[in-house]
Structure 1
Amino acid sequence: MGCTTTKVAQSHQAKEQQNYNDDDIDNIKDDSVFSPKNMAADDNIIASIAEKSDHVNIQVADSQAFNDSFVQQRQQAINNRSYQSTVQSWQPKSLQQLTELIKAVSKGKSLVDQHWIIFYWIACNIDYDTESYFSKDYKDQTAEGVFRFKKGVCAGYANLYKYLCDQLGVPCEIISGYAKGYGFENRKDAPTETDHAWNAVEIDHHWYLMESTWGAGHLNDKKQYERELTSYYFLPRPNEMIYHHLPEDVKWQLLKSPINMEQYLQMPKLRPLYFDLKLELVSPRNQGVISLLPGKSYAMVLLRASRNIQLIADLKLNNEKIDGGHHIMFDVSKQLYRCYFAPKKVGQHKIIIYGKKDASDEITYGGVLELTLAVKQLPKTAVSFPQTWDYFFDLGLQVISPQNTHVITLSNEISTTQILIRTPENVELLGSLENEAKQAITGGHQIYYDRRKRTWRCNFAPDRNGFFEATIFAKKMSDAGSHHAAVAFKIEATQIPLPPISYPYTWQSFYDFGLKIKAPAHRSDATWAENASYTEVLIKAPDDVRLSGSIQYNHVTVENGSLAQFDIEKKLWQILFAPERTGKHEIIVFASKTNEEGSSSVVRFNLDVTKLRRPMKFPVIYSAFQTAKCQLVTPIDGVLKKGAVVPIECVIPGAIDVNVTVDSKWIGSEGYKDPILQRKITVGSKEVGIYAKYGGTSSYNGLVKYNVE
């Protein structure tokens, strides 16, 4: 009994991956790398390793060199805009003329200011001679030669700096030694001869270091020189410089206890930003090479930092990034970052950690440290990590499943996957599925909150074979603005059957009402039969829920374009939608409790009308029709012809009496036997109405109204 579309689509043959039922969720063990149990075990392992390690104690020899007054003078010189504009305006033709310019502007200035003027001029005017460096055919590296050609290698920078200091009568020395600069990581053994030069200067009876080469710029991965002023190398602290500069003469380490070459080579490669952000490498302690934790599939780096510091990382093998190879999280209880690194192959891996202050997108990340991860043997059980963003931790998200992987594999005609995530009650999630071309997959995701299990169920359905990225976005419900990316997984899909499964757009209320879609099954698009006049959506709902519908074209609602009714035999809601024209439409289903006013959007389908037999409108349906769970069998066309004799059949459960009006006149109660109304009427000139009376009331409730043409 009841109306149907002229053609029903074949049932979907794809296998939808079994979603986690309540028992499944309850039985999932938290065996992730980040479970409290595993984190506590990791901390014990790290503590044990630390006890056995031979730590290098690094302290400056002259504790008064960097007193508050000196630190303030240094920063004031760096910030002095007048010095910068003056130096940039110079165009000296000779070293002598340059010396006179420096003397003139330095007159009466502090030694710190004089050194900054020299440092700044070199940084703005001398380029690194990459041709000489890579060919090992060094040009004239005297101060005169470097000034003339406006380029040099480290020896040339150091010679020019000392020459200018000598002209000003300022004490300066050239230091020869070893540096962890370009190409350092390619070394296998300790260097046999010095490979770098920089300076030491005396200011107010204290000796300081000066690195004008690195302060002027750097070589990029393409072996090209990039000029970039880095003021960190202007009078840097010796206990920081020692991580990447080892003087041949130990006295120029300026440390209380000088280190040797073996210790120097073992130390991590710390960048200036590491010290600017006031980071502390807790583990490994002054060790540049680390291994996998014993019995684990990953290595760990612990970094102490203030909470406003943001960190990200890369794990590389042969300069190729390891997908899913790292994970960084802030441990609030210990106030430090836990950085996990999981290799996939044996070999010497490079760990690079980047940082920045503040979460603003206007501030870019910079390198803070580099370590080597030496992997000689991989454990049997490998792990990998999904990509996470700051919001994942800030909002307190937890991945329940899948654990310890960043790749979800779909095969054997399994079409979908489900990711389970727990959040605080005030957090809401959204999702997105993209292919390798970064194109969003329509109907590729379905995200909702399971209130009974207090778990977000995040479903994803690739539309073909290949690689996809499933991203989950989050925000606090009380926050204005958009959601932010929180966590992302890779999906590798093979043997996806056609047509693929897809999801209609659902609101959270769909699940709160306990609804289930029966047709169209596993489709984001409603089915349109060729040359039809309307389509249907079938939904199962609890007894106390009523449904209604709407169809839109170009965001304009089609008047009388939907009919929601209850199929008493199938115990399903049948919502019919009738477009007025061909083209792309949206159809929306609404739901409400039978005893409540108003309704909520619950699900939206796309509808592509390719060929329309004839436009039609449904009758006007009143709320009592849906509340009583009525069903209109015939006629479903809402416009009747004047004078026509029309059979009426309608399912109206539980009524005491049913009556019909023609042109607002009662024509008498006949043809109703609960729950079926069957009778014929002669159509008048204005309208036809169907009314029902229920127990406890003396009046009739309007159910259906037909118009007449």
Structure 2
Amino acid sequence: MFLTLEYDISGFLGRSEKLSSPEEVIAAGRGVCCGYSSLCSEMCEMGIECQEVPGHSKGVGYRQGQSLRGVKSDHLWNAVLLSGQWFLLDACWGAGRVDMENESFVKFDDFYFLTEPEEFIHSHFPDEERWQLLDRPISIEEFERKVFKTSAFFTLGLRLMQPHQCHILTDGEANISLGFSRPTTFTFETTAHQDLLHSGSSEQRDSPKSSFGLLTVSHRTMKLQLLPPASGTYDVRIFARPESATTNLKWVCSFTVECLVPRAMEEIPENPFLSWGLQPNAQLQGVSGSNLGSEVFQVEQGSCEVVLKTSHPLMLVCELVHPKLDPAVAKRCLATQIQSDALTCNVLCPQRGFYRLSIFVRDYEKTDVKFQNVANFLLHCKGKVASLEELFPPNLGSACGPGSRTTEFGFSKFSHTTGILSTQQGKCNITFHNQHDLELHTVLSRDEIAKQSTLPLSRYLFCTYTDSKVTVSASLPEKGVYRLGLYARTTPGDSFNPMCDFVLRNTCDQQGAPFPCVYSAWRKGCVLFEPRMGLLEPESWVRFRVRVPGGQRVCVVGETRTDLKLNKSRVWEGDVFTGGGVSQLKLAAASGESEEMAVMMTFDIRPAEKEE
């Protein structure tokens, strides 16, 4: 019967006469609370003892903070006797709820039929104490102070941990905690205070409408830290839904927060996602843990490392937000490493204040699946900051250092397991094994604004490939931050695919020497022992030592040709003079039956200083 009735909104608002008798309610198909209760009483005359219970309710029209002492009650519900025990029910609230914002009626809420007295008392206070049906009845003042909890609060199995009063008086910070027994998703809404409790929407989208609250969800607890930006009174609504649900979140409870003196603090970036820390869906997405918690993380020395443990290979994308940080600069504050069992994000903080680091993941192999937000960390940098010269190089790929992609293509045994290398000498060697004998290509780059050397940066990288072992040597032209990109291709003629990047931090003030310029004749198995520098001093003797597998003849060509001799260790060696006015020496070799000499690399000769 009650499912076919609607609340008489027009009558409640005084636009028409209220319908209250059972006959009027049935005929019109609508009524107010007294109409529902009288209809319930009449239906129970068929054999169920029923009492109409007048009292106060925190329903439509209830004003937050109002005193009900001495005020005439405004609501009517029922108590029924079943099997010798009294039960409470509100047929009006059970038939549905009124959405005053849209002046509509949303039907049916069975929570208010035979409700537990301990739960009913949060929204209904009878004129007669006996109809509380409580072992320890409460006063009307206690009822006024009680936190308003909707039916969804109880059906979701939530419990209030703190505070236990609806009005929170604070000097700059307020904390709300809820417990839950089943996986639950939460969000919240903070608005300027409104007198009417039911003035807002009873449902909410996924994202909160406030940037001055820090909502964190742990295994069994939701914590909301509120930091009002100014003095005044605010309404706070908590929304929730089962973690597996895709519907809007439902209003579960409300508070008013009165801030006398706001706390002076830096601006917190907005979090458009549900909460801080690991998200409730993180484990379902394959993230099993993190080295950071849900609380604010203090960044020391302008940088930090965030690590997510994963149950299977994942891809990640990160977003760093600061209220005053340009998005283009923010991208250069992140360097990520993707491994089969972990995701690492290195973060630089070039400004003081709060940062939001959001992490999104998807399955490594499912390229058609959208990235899902799994974590949002609030970082606070209040000491040393990273300088703009320390930012990561532009065009840095998502895979820094060895990881899932390098393993997939058969690269192993890396000498450096992280993606960020620091050198105080301006030099470094990175070694690894190329198990599938793929063709390799390396690229060295840096910020375009940085001072450029007279030679291309390609001259400051040198690769040696023996058996399956690869050595990439870097000699950096000046101090700064560089990107070393490693590429490979599986089929000749195809494009090179990115494998991983390395960030090279050079703190050496001395200029690094370039390597020789290498040509295609320099192939697997060739090893240059000396000279390693590609820029030679003029008018000097230089010792050459090189291994060339299959080489029948090896020489160095300058003003004259110098044939190198093969020693017992299968190394070609000899001394070469850099004089004669030439600007370049060529290292060439003939292999197999061919007598044609192929140039493998060239060495530049520094111009001689002119005598005055």
1:689 aligns with 2:577: no
Q: Where in structure 2 are the equivalents of 1:301-700 lying within 5 Å?
A: 301-306=176-181, 308-318=183-193, 321-330=209-218, 336-357=221-242, 359-362=243-246, 365-380=249-264, 387-388=275-276, 389-390=279-280, 391=282, 395-398=289-292, 403=297, 420-421=304-305, 423=307, 430-433=317-320, 443=331, 446-448=334-336, 456-459=345-348, 470-473=357-360, 484-487=373-376, 502-509=394-401, 512=418, 514-515=420-421, 520-522=445-447, 602=502, 619=520, 621-624=522-525, 655-656=544-545, 666=553, 670-671=561-562, 673=575, 678-679=585-586, 689-690=598-599
Alignment pair present for 1:134 and 2:13: yes
Cα separation, 2, equivalents of 1:681 and 1:455: 45
Paired with 2:268 and 2:475, the residues of 1 have a C-alpha distance of 50
- Please give the alpha-carbon distance, in whole angstroms, between the structure 1 residues aligned to 2:40 and 2:577: 102
Residue 232 of structure 1, CA deviation = 0.8
Structure 1 length normalisation: TM-score? 0.52
Q: Residues 354 and 366 of structure 1 are in contact (CA less than 8 Å); yes or no, is this contact kept in structure 2? A: yes
Secondary structure of 1:366's partner? strand
Specify whether residues 340 and 576 from structure 1 end up closer, same or farther in structure 2 by C-alpha distance, changes over 3 A only.
Answer: closer
CA distance in 2, matches of 1:175, 1:353: 30
Distance in 2 (alpha carbons) for counterparts of 1:212 and 1:379: 46
Q: Structure 1 237/404 Cα, relative in aligned 2: closer, same or farther at 3 Å?
A: farther
Once the two structures are TM-superposed, the CA of residue 312 in structure 1 deviates from its matched residue by 3.7
Letter in 2 for 1:280: R
In structure 1, the partner of 2:2 is 122
- Report the residue type matching 2:95 in the other structure: A
| Rounded Cα–Cα distance in structure 2 between residues aligned with 1:346 and 1:169 | 58
Q: Distance in 2 between matches of 1:399 and 1:503?
A: 30
Given the superposition, is the C-alpha separation of residues 306 and 372 from structure 1 closer, same or farther in structure 2, using an over 3 Å criterion? Answer: same
Deviation at 1:353, TM superposition (A): 2.6
Offset at 1:270? Answer: 1.5
Q: Are residues 404 and 150 of structure 1, via their aligned partners in 2, closer, same or farther at CA, if it must alter by over 3 Å?
A: farther
Distance 1:382 1:659 in 2: 63
**Partner in structure 1 of residue 409 of structure 2:** none
Change in Cα spacing, 1:418 to 1:248, as seen in structure 2 (3 Å) is same
Question: Distance in 2 between the 1:486 and 1:588 partners?
Answer: 30
User: What's 1:5 paired with?
Assistant: none
Which of residues 142, 167, 170 is equivalent to 2:48?
170
Deviation at 1:268, TM superposition (A): 0.8
Amino acid at match of 1:151: R
Distance change in 2, residues 1:187/1:470 (3 Å):
same
After superposition, the Cα gap between the structure-2 partners of 1:520 and 1:338, relative to the gap in structure 1 and judged at 3 Å, is same
What is the RMSD computed on CA atoms of the aligned residues? 5.8
Distance 1:658 1:179, change over 3 A: closer
Change (3 A) 1:149 1:632: farther
Q: Which amino acid in structure 1 is aligned with residue 83 of structure 2?
A: D
* Residue 458 of structure 1, CA deviation: 1.9
Tell me how far apart the structure 1 counterparts of residues 152 and 347 of structure 2 sit (CA, whole Å): 38
Secondary structure class of the residue paired with 1:160: helix
Point out the more displaced range, 257-266 or 565-574. 565-574
Q: Is the 8 A contact 1:315 1:352 kept in 2?
A: yes
The residue aligned with 1:103 is: none
Determine the C-alpha separation between the residues in 2 that align with 1:489 and 1:423. Answer: 14
Deviation at 1:144, TM superposition (A): 1.8
Q: Could you tell me which residue of structure 2 aligns to residue 274 of structure 1?
A: 153
Q: 1:237 deviation in Å?
A: 1.0
Partner letter of residue 689 of structure 1? A
The CA deviation at 1:208 is: 1.3
Aligned residue-pair number = 471
Distance 2:447 2:184 in 1: 44
Q: What is residue 259 of structure 1 aligned with on the other side?
A: 138
**Alignment match, 1:250:** 129
TM-superposed deviation, 1:240: 0.8
Contact 1:174 1:198 in 2 (8 A): yes
1:245-290 residue CA offsets vs partner (Å, 9 max, x unmatched):
11122222222233222111011112223223433323333x2222
Q: CA deviation at 1:174?
A: 2.1
Aligned residue for 1:146, secondary structure, equals helix
How far, CA to CA, are the matches of 1:169 and 1:156 in structure 2? 20
> Any idea what SS the aligned residue of 2:376 has?
strand
After superposition, the Cα gap between the structure-2 partners of 1:461 and 1:216, relative to the gap in structure 1 and judged at 3 Å, is farther
User: Would the aligned equivalents of 2:464 and 2:524 in 1 still touch at CA under 8 Å?
Assistant: no
* Higher RCO (CA < 8 A, seq sep 6+): 1
Instruction: Give the drift of 1:155.
Output: 1.9
1:396 is displaced (CA, Å) by 4.1
8 Å Cα contact 1:506/1:602 also seen in 2:
no
CA distance in 2, matches of 1:365, 1:629: 70
Q: Identical aligned pairs, as a percentage?
A: 17
TM-score normalised by structure 2 residue count: 0.59
Structure ranking higher in helix proportion? 1
Deviation at 1:233? 0.9
